[in-house]
Amino acid sequence: MANVVVVGAQWGDEGKGKIVDWLSERADVIARFQGGHNAGHTLVVDGTVYKLHALPSGVVRGGKLSVIGNGVVLDPWHLMREIETIRAQGVQISPETLMIAENTPLILPIHGELDRAREEAASTGTKIGTTGRGIGPAYEDKVGRRSVRVADLADDATLEARVDRALQHHNPLRRGLGIAPVDRDRLLADLRQIAPQVLEYAAPVWKVMNEKRRAGKRILFEGAQGALLDIDFGTYPFVTSSNVIAGQAATGVGIGPGAIDFVLGIVKAYTTRVGEGPFPTELEDADGQRLGERGHEFGTTTGRKRRCGWFDAVLVRQTCATSGVNGIALTKLDVLDGFETLRICTGYALDGEVLDYLPTAAEQQARCVPVYEEMPGWSETTEGARSWADLPANAIKYVRRVEELIQCPVAMLSTSPEREDTILVTDPFAD
C-alpha cells in the first residue's frame, strides 16, 4: 500500500501519536489535513518525549517531508513557538522538511478571544468545552470567505484588505459579547512581523503532494481528534469544527480520493472524552476512576481530566463505517489488566427498542441506555506484550470480540507507549 490515513475512531486521545510515529518511519511524506493546535500528539522516540500540537509527527524523524495542508487552521505564532521548542530538543526543521499550504487559513488572536468569550458566556448545557484555541471561529471565517490565508501574508495591500474584511465581521460580534474592538494596527503589525517566518515554509502543497504521489512516495495522512468529534458525523454540536473522518484527507491537502490505499482507525480498548457532550458508556464510579488513573487520562493540550467509560462497540462500528476503516490499531489494552469483569456496549435501548447505531437527534442520544455484554477480565499484565503468545487467553478473547462487534480486523495492537511494544498483524504500508 502506498498511502495510509490514520484517524481516531472515538473522541480523540486514542494514542495516535505512537502509531503515527511508528508508521512515519516507513513513510516519505507525513501530512496533517484538518484541525489545528487543539490536537496534542505525544511521541516517545529513543526515550525522548516530544509533545506536538500543530506540527506533523514526521518532523521528529530525519529525511521526511512534513506537510500542513489547507484543511488545517494555523496559528502562526503558536507554530513558531512549537518549532523553537522542538528545535531545542535537537530536531532540524527547515523549508526542505516542512511545507505549509499557501491556501491554509490562519487562526488570529481574535479567534481565540471569541472562542473563550463564547464559552464563558454559555450556560450549562450549551458550553462545548472547547480547547479555547480559536479553532471554531477560524473555520467559521474560512467558510464565511473572510479568512486571512498564508498566501495573503506576501502582499501588504491584500493583507490589509483581508484584515479589514474580517474585522467588519468581528467587531460587531465582539461588541455583543462585551469585548473591546480589535486593535487593527497592532494586529497588522503582528502579522507583518510573523509573515516572513511563515512564508519561508509556504508552498503549493496540492502540487507537491501530487508530484510525490506520481513519484511513488509513501504518504501518511495524520488525522487529529477523533471521528466522534467530526463536524458532520460526530455528537453535534459537541464536536470540533472540522471534518475528522478519512475522506477529509483528500480535500485537506488537495489530492484525489483514489490516493488513499488504507485507512487505519486508532481505537482505545475503553472509551474517553474531554469536554462536554453525550457519552453513553461513561462511568462516574470507582471503575471510571481506575481507568482514568491507570490510563493517565489527562488532556495533552489543556491538562483537563478525561471522562472515562467502557468500550462502546456501537460507536466504533459506526466510525469505522464513516471512515472506511480497513484495520484498527487497538491501544491501551493494559489499562484493563486486573478488572474482574469487563463490559462492552453492543447496542442502545431506546423507547422499547434496541438500536445498533447512535441516533442523530441530541434529545434521543441523551435517552439512549447502553446495552452491555460482560466478559471475564484477566489478572496477568499485558503491558509490553510483543506477540499474541504474551497475552492472557481472556485478553485475546476480548480483542477478538471487539473485532467481531466493530466488524473490522485488528491490524496493530499497542501494549505500552514504547514503539517496540506493538503486535503487528497487518502492516498498513505493506504491498
Smallest distance, ligand IMP to C-beta of residue 276, A: 6
Instruction: Please name the residue ranges forming H helices in 280-312.
Output: 286-294
Among this protein's residues, is 41 annotated catalytic?
yes
Asked if 4 contacts 220 with a C-beta cutoff of 8 angstroms, the reply is yes
C-beta closer to ligand IMP: residue 227 or 336: 227
Bridge partners of 424, per DSSP, are 412
Measured from the CB atom, is 16 or 212 closer to ligand IMP? 16
Cβ(18)–Cβ(331) under 8 Å?
yes
Q: Which is nearer to ligand IMP, 140 or 160 (CB)?
A: 140
Q: Distance (Å, rounded) from C-alpha 49 to C-alpha 91?
A: 12
In angstroms, what is the minimal distance from the CB of 134 to ligand IMP? 8
| Amino acid occupying residue 167 | L
* Nearest of 71, 363, 42 to residue 231 by alpha carbon: 71
Could you confirm whether 13 is annotated as catalytic?
yes
Q: Least distance (Å) from ligand IMP to the CB of residue 241? A: 6
Task: Print burial letters for 195-219: b (CB count within 10 Å at least 16), e (below 16).
Answer: beebbebbbebbebbbebbeeeebb
Radius of gyration of the chain (CA): 22
DSSP string, 214-242: HTT--EEEE--S-GGG-TTTSSTTSS-SS
Catalytic residue among 37, 41, 111, 170: 41
Q: Tell me which residue has its CB nearest to ligand IMP.
A: 275
**Residues near ligand IMP, by CB under 6 A:** 11-13, 38-40, 128-131, 133, 135-136, 224-225, 229, 238, 240-241, 274-275
Which of 252/347 has CB closer to ligand IMP? 252
> Closer CB to ligand IMP, residue 102 or residue 222?
222
Q: From the CB of 213, what's the least distance to ligand IMP, in Å? A: 27
Q: Closest separation between CB of residue 8 and ligand IMP, Å?
A: 8
Task: List the catalytic residues.
Answer: 13, 41
